[in-house]
Structure formats: C-alpha cells, structure tokens
Amino acid sequence: MSQVSRISQGIPVVAGFFEPRTFSIQYVVSDPETARCAIIDPVLDFEEKSGATSTHSADALLDYISREGLEVEWILDTHPHADHFSAAGYLRDTLGAPTGIGAHVTDVQRLWQTLYNLGDAVSTDGSQWDRLFAAGDTFRVGNLEGRVLFSPGHTLASVTYVIGDAAFVHDTLFMPDFGTARADFPGGDAGRLWDSMQEILALPDSTRLFTGHDYMPDGREPLWESTVAEQKASNPHIAGMSRADYIRMRDRRDADLPMPKLILHSLQVNIRGGRLPEPEGNGRRYLKLPLDALEGASWGE
C-alpha cells in the first residue's frame, strides 16, 4: 500500500509504502522541480518461520521510482531498526546511490557486537555506510535542503531527517492516536526520548511529520502523516505532559511490552548496513541468536 502527499512548489513529494508484516513505512521523498529523490527506511523482507528473505518491499520502491522518472540521490536509514531488516545494502547495489545513517550508529555497533560476540566479523567504525550524519549536518535532494536532528532515546543512534517542510521522525513519534515510541531497547532512555521529541516539536506547526510505523489502533486503515500542531494538540503522550510525567509513563508502559519478534534477527543485519552475514563454507548464510541476552525483557505470548 502506498500513499503520495500533496504536490506544491518547493515542497517535497512524499510517497509512503506500508509494509504490513512489520507495520513499517518506507518512504520515497522527491523534489518536484528536479525529479531527484531520497529513499528513507527501506525494508528487506524476512519470514522468520522459514528463514526466507525477499526484496519484494524494496522492489515496490524501485517500481515507483522508475514509473515517476526519479533519480535516487540518497538511501537513508533513520536508525538501526529492531523490527525489520534494512534494504539499504540491496538498494545501494542496485542503484549505486550512497547510503547514510546517524553517526552514533558506531555506538550501536559496539553494543550489539558485544551481545552477539561477533569479534572482528563486523567493523564498528560505521564504514558500512557512505555517510554518517551528525546533528546539524545538511544534504540535498535536488533543490531541497535536508538537515539532520540527532534524536536519541528510542535508540542510541536515531536521527530525524528534515527535508523541506517534511520531517521523517522514525520511531520517536507515532500517529497522535497511538502515542510515542518505546525506550527500553539496549541503549534506550525515556528522558532522552522526551528531549528529542521536544526538538522535533519545536519545528514550525505546519511541518509534516512522517512516522516509521503505524499499528492501526481500533482497526483503522494505516496512516503515517501528521503535523507538529496535531501532535502537540492531541497526542496523549505529549499534550499536558511534563518531562517527569512522561518518563514515569514510558517506563511503566515499556515494562510490560514484549520485545519485537525480530529484534535479535534484525540488529545483526542492520549493524552491517542492511547486509546479511557472509556465507559460510557451505555457501549458506546464518543468523546468530544470543540466548538470555536481553535481561528483564517481558515474555511475549
């Protein structure tokens, strides 16, 4: 499923593609003046029961890009995802466009390299990406300027990409009827998440916010676009909340949430820039699952 936002002079065109297995949204954001675009948070499909991988979701982006006559300038991830594989590596091989992620991905690499006991199998210098973005860095999508906000709290490395009047806020803010992201992953922190949200909400009220997931409360159709004004007015995790109130609420809610079913599968792929582990001697690739590594995690059903 995809949805294309309004077209206006100097305002990016945003196409969102909902991936129902992981409730993720992939984006293609383009400059209507130059037909240049960036891909944000692409999904590499993985079926955990069979161990099968597929490029179906990422290929939907390529079909759209071809159909619209776009040229890809960037392949961007907002953070190392804990619930789906990134397709950044596949798309870079296919398109030749550079990849980017927040500079603090190196902190995440070091943390998970230890948890997986990967040793030298994974470099922790961020060299799997073409560019590591620090807070305040800028880049271009056609004639549109993009800038980077460092938005930790959900993860150590989360960033927000602001392109024109659109901000891609990953798993910091969800739609106003669902709330905000969890902060209990390794390296997460509810106080830092609150501070990150305040920087996002300091953008102009009309700024369009595009979230990384939608969980469709009350069975509604998937949605992924809101505004700063809408979030401030009606998100129950924000409106009327103080920082201390939010931390108490977030910590209480997170204590009862089971870990995402793909967290141990996906992080070992995503700290490699969305690339699967190298084949072993028999030609097959293997994922490594550490047992009892996430101490205190709530048991899922």
209 in a structural domain: yes
283 in a structural domain: no
β-strand partners of 2 = 17
> Do the beta carbons of residue 171 and residue 201 sit within 8 Å?
no
294 in a structural domain: no
- Which residue range is the domain that position 69 belongs to? 2-270
49 in a structural domain: yes
Three-state DSSP state, 61:
helix
Residue of 27, 22, 30, 31 lying closest to 58 (CA atoms):
27
256 in a structural domain: yes
Give pTM, 2 decimals.
0.94
- Measure the CA–CA gap between 175 and 18, rounded to whole angstroms: 14
User: Residue 15 is part of a domain; what is its CATH number?
Assistant: 3.60.15.10
161 in a structural domain: yes
Question: Per the structure, how many domains does the chain have?
Answer: 1
pLDDT per residue of the chain (301 residues) written in tens, 0 to 9: 566 555 445 699 999 999 999 999 999 999 999 999 999 999 999 999 999 999 999 999 999 999 999 999 999 999 999 999 999 999 999 999 999 999 999 999 999 999 999 988 899 999 999 999 999 999 999 999 999 999 999 999 999 999 999 999 999 999 999 999 999 998 999 999 999 999 999 999 999 999 999 999 999 999 999 999 999 999 999 999 999 999 999 999 999 999 999 999 999 999 999 999 999 999 999 999 999 988 777 776 5
What pLDDT score was predicted for residue 4?
59
Residue 193 region, left (φ>0) first, then alpha (ψ -120 to 50), else beta?
Answer: alpha
Strand (E) or helix (H) holding 168: strand 166-170
What pLDDT score was predicted for residue 299?
72
- Measure the CA–CA gap between 121 and 142, rounded to whole angstroms: 37
9 in a structural domain: yes
What pLDDT score was predicted for residue 3?
60
What pLDDT score was predicted for residue 263?
95
| Three-state SS sequence of 193-240 | HHHHHHHHHCCCCCCEEEECECCCHHHCCCCCEEEHHHHHHHCCCCCC
What pLDDT score was predicted for residue 295?
79
β-strand partners of 225 = 210
299 in a structural domain: no
What pLDDT score was predicted for residue 269?
97
